[in-house]
Structure 1
Amino acid sequence: MTVVAIVAQGAMGAGMARRLTDGGARVLTSLAGRSPASRRRAAAAGMEDAGPEALAAADIFLSVLPPAEALATAQWLAPALRAAGRPAAYADCNAISPETARQVAGCIEAAGAAFVDGGIIGGPPRPDGYTPVLYVSGPEAARALVLRDHGLEVQVTPGPVGAASALKMSYAGITKGLVALGAAMMLAAGRGGAAEGLRAELARSQPQLLAWFQRMVPPMPDKAYRWVGEMEEIAGFTGPEAAGIYQAIGQFYAGVAADQAGPGEAAASLAAFLKGG
């Protein structure tokens, strides 16, 4: 039986775990210090609580976390990887820049384990069969292909460590950047009394773009807090030519997240705009 370790138990990590356990794999995680909600998600996904030694001895370890936790998690597991007789291949699946990925790789490889650079494009796996794509790169990328045998879609992208992270950064910079730009203008149009006119013009001249916004913008307020760190990573990835753009987008998402934790006015305004009311 393939043994997969996944840290942590958020929507993506638990969704991947559920797909893998349904596909016959055994999935381990660490519940030390985790919230009751995380524990419930882990139980529903069939994840088993385990210590660092067991996680390090799995066939493959998947790091599925907020970007700011990527390097700290590698440093936390490194001693167990170093002590393991047959350490797991370590796949960093987080939304991090190629530079951050190389820092994580240095930590993992110094512990004697194989590093796989990864980037997930798409939402968590769903019971209807939908699955995101895990892109992987680097000399050890093929180590992640075992996940295909248990229901996940894994694609090797050509290039060294950092290539899969660069693909994720580029794709997210386009899609989440457009969500932010669209949402910011919808909110501004509402404040300026032009919401009805803007929506009508989008429907007339940009119907495909309006349809895309109608699909992508409504879920954004609940995710905005997670996207702040991702925009910071993208800012570092783009370099000085566009760093300011993504730093500003990160600030926009931080503002939406703060509003969502309070009155929820932004989400309500966006929903009204997209429904035409």
Structure 2
Amino acid sequence: MGILWPGAMGSALGRAWRSAGVEVVTSLDGRSARTRDLAGDLTALGSLEEVVRVCDAVVSVVPPAHAVTQAEQIAAAVRRTGSTPVVADLNAVSPATMGQVATVLEAAGCVVVDGAISGPPPRPDGDTALFLSGASCSPFADLAAPGLRAVVVGSEVGAASATKMSTAAVYKGTKALLLQSLLTARHHGVLDAVVADLSTGAPELTAHLARDLAVAASKSDRLPAEMREIASTQAAAGAGAELYEAVAEVFERADASAAGAATPEEAASAIDLDAVLDALTRHR
């Protein structure tokens, strides 16, 4: 199994599958120091081309804005090497974008699995869902990895992506609502009263407010593109694009703030809600 690329999610997926007995490789060619740290003890080959050459299956895990480019790079490596691994695109993209990815990869001779991850990077004591769809979802649907639950949602490419777009709209849209509401409450000096009310009416939203909002802000470099993938998915379903176009703007502002400069690893230790909100009001 080849992981492209081993960021926080990709490296955790690699370790989950490795614990299930799969030989997992990746490449660190051109990767950042953070990605190299996150890859840890995963076996690293010299290039994407080497990964494609030796693997039966390859997984694409990149920010949504890079999904089609990544597919093109994998397809080019397939043509150069003559290898045709099964390719699972696990990126947070619309069914339409997933269709573009599938067209690129199928033209190179690859079997394509539409996939999407719901939940945090998998860990043995967790429960992360891996939505899958396509004519064949092997080998991914057949692997019993600790903390990773495979869910086949359909036989058509696009179904897994549609599932992700629908669930992410709720999970990440809720984070945007909290960002907007709590920044407004803080501005008016009523933050404590608002948090107290939410803690009574929706306690699941407030259990880890500082951490959740800090982590959302730290990932806001990639979230605007994902929100626009959701917007286009909803528009194609006749629901309109305007809501998640606006949510994309919320995360663009977060990315431009001091809170957006933190890494997710740094943000995960946040415990002071007022400090997080203060960072969201300041530019980098």
> How many angstroms apart in 2 are the aligned matches of 1:149 and 1:270?
35
Deviation at 1:237, TM superposition (A): 0.8
**Are 1:202 and 2:202 matched, yes or no?**
no
Match of 1:243 in 2: 241
Choose from 163, 166, 180 the match for 1:167: 163
Q: Is the 8 A contact 1:179 1:213 kept in 2?
A: no
| Matched position secondary structure for 2:199 | helix
Cα separation, partners in 2 of 1:253 and 1:270, compared to 1, 3 Å: farther
Match of 1:25 in 2: 22
Match runs of 1:33-72 below 5 Å = 33-42=30-39, 44-57=40-53, 58-72=55-69
Runs of at least 5 residues in structure 2 that lack an aligned partner in the other structure: 277-284
Deviation at 1:175, TM superposition (A): 0.9
> How many angstroms apart in 2 are the aligned matches of 1:98 and 1:71?
12
Deviation at 1:145, TM superposition (A): 2.3
**Are 1:76 and 2:73 matched, yes or no?**
yes
Q: Is the 8 A contact 2:210 2:272 kept in 1?
A: no
Aligned-CA RMSD value:
2.8
Choose from 271, 274, 277 the match for 1:272: 274
Residue by residue over 1:92-129, the C-alpha shift from the partner in whole angstroms, topping out at 9 and shown as x without a partner, is: 00000000000000011111110000000011123x53
> How many angstroms apart in 2 are the aligned matches of 1:25 and 1:256?
38
Match of 1:98 in 2: 95
- Which amino acid counterpart does residue 255 of structure 1 have in structure 2? R
Q: Is the 8 A contact 2:223 2:248 kept in 1?
A: yes
Match of 2:176 in 1: 180
Q: Is the 8 A contact 1:21 1:45 kept in 2?
A: no
* Corresponding residue pairs, total: 267
Runs of at least 5 residues in structure 1 that lack an aligned partner in the other structure: none
> How many angstroms apart in 1 are the aligned matches of 2:219 and 2:145?
30
Q: Is the 8 A contact 1:187 1:269 kept in 2?
A: no
Deviation at 1:227, TM superposition (A): 1.3
- Which amino acid counterpart does residue 80 of structure 1 have in structure 2? A
Give the percent of matched residue pairs that are identical in Structure 1 and Structure 2.
35
Cα separation, partners in 2 of 1:103 and 1:191, compared to 1, 3 Å: same
Q: Is the 8 A contact 2:49 2:77 kept in 1?
A: yes
**Are 1:133 and 2:129 matched, yes or no?**
yes
> How many angstroms apart in 1 are the aligned matches of 2:209 and 2:36?
34
Which 10-residue stretch deviates more, 18-27 or 103-112?
18-27
**Are 1:226 and 2:222 matched, yes or no?**
yes
Q: Is the 8 A contact 1:124 1:131 kept in 2?
A: no
**Are 1:16 and 2:18 matched, yes or no?**
no
Residue by residue over 1:156-212, the C-alpha shift from the partner in whole angstroms, topping out at 9 and shown as x without a partner, is: 112411000000000000111011112210110110122122223223444444447
Cα separation, partners in 2 of 1:79 and 1:224, compared to 1, 3 Å: closer
Deviation at 1:24, TM superposition (A): 2.6
Match of 2:153 in 1: 157
- Which amino acid counterpart does residue 132 of structure 1 have in structure 2? T
Deviation at 1:83, TM superposition (A): 5.0
- Which amino acid counterpart does residue 188 of structure 2 have in structure 1? G
| Matched position secondary structure for 1:141 | coil
TM value normalised by structure 1: 0.86
> How many angstroms apart in 2 are the aligned matches of 1:191 and 1:94?
36
Cα separation, partners in 2 of 1:210 and 1:23, compared to 1, 3 Å: same
> How many angstroms apart in 2 are the aligned matches of 1:158 and 1:204?
39
